[in-house]
Amino acid sequence: MRDVFHEQLDSVFDDLSEIGKRVEDAVRLGTAALLRGDVELAEQVISADIEIDRARERVEEKAFALLSLQQPVAGDLRTIVAALRMVSELERMGDLSVHVAKVARLRAPNIAVPEEIRPVVARMADVAEDMVARVLAIITGRDVESAIALGRDDEEMDQLRRSSFTQLLSDDWAHGVEAAVDVALLGRYYERIADHAVSVANRVVFVVTGQNPRTVGA
């Protein structure tokens, strides 16, 4: 009976990995839509988000069934509760990708990001995509060392965010309030994607070790 339970528990993590793949696609395609001014690509990201929402609902139903029918304790309970939190974080990352796509759609056929700040925004997008890909591998492998490293590497995103604000507030900014608001929002979206990736990685550490990730490897 416990073997069946643990198979079901493992399947929850398989589902989380599948959602992670969808989120990775959403971040990548949302960024492509933004930097190309591609309405069709933006619409694709927006439409695909419903599948992430449905997948989250399936994970929640499975987790609640395990809680109610199996009455797990200790490590198993920790894993189920963490999975519920992780799926919520992953869904939010998908939502943030939709926000990026909606900025792209709103400004198309123009490109929302002015030329001189495009390298910073593009790098923020690259960092966000990389962190999503890494957290996907962390979920799949339950890799504590990689999870801890991801948390430490979040600093680059913070630096890029500060750099974008420096450009927006510069006297040389010549693109008006509308473009400034777009760039500020985009920076926030990518920063939050990175923050959620770190949060998911931290929950993997907790599942595997039972410890606060801030104390593991310190």
Query: Does residue 216 sit within a domain?
Result: no
Range of the domain at 191: 2-209
How many domains in the chain?
1
Query: Does residue 13 sit within a domain?
Result: yes
Which two structure tokens, joined as six digits, stand for 108? Answer: 């198309």
Query: Does residue 119 sit within a domain?
Result: yes
Which two structure tokens, joined as six digits, stand for 31? Answer: 């960024």
Query: Does residue 214 sit within a domain?
Result: no
Question: Span 171-176, mean pLDDT?
Answer: 92
User: DSSP letter at 110?
Assistant: S
Query: Does residue 218 sit within a domain?
Result: no
What's the mean pLDDT when you consider all of the chain? 91
The pTM score is 0.92
Q: For residue range 4-18, what is the model confidence (pLDDT) as tens digits?
A: 777 888 889 899 999
pLDDT value at residue 103: 98
Which stretch of 6-15, 28-37, 46-55, 108-117 has the lowest confidence by average pLDDT?
Answer: 6-15
> Does residue 121 carry a pLDDT above 80?
yes
Query: Does residue 49 sit within a domain?
Result: yes
Query: Does residue 125 sit within a domain?
Result: yes
What stretches of 71-175 show up as alpha helix (H) in DSSP?
A: 74-107, 118-141, 144-152, 155-168
Which two structure tokens, joined as six digits, stand for 62? Answer: 């499975």
Q: Which CATH number belongs to the domain containing residue 29 in this structure?
A: 1.20.58.220
% pLDDT > 90, the chain: 73
pLDDT tier at 3 (50, 70, 90 boundaries)?
low
Q: Burial level of 7, CB count in 10 A (0-12/13-18/19+)?
A: exposed
Query: Does residue 217 sit within a domain?
Result: no
Question: Span 68-83, mean pLDDT?
Answer: 82
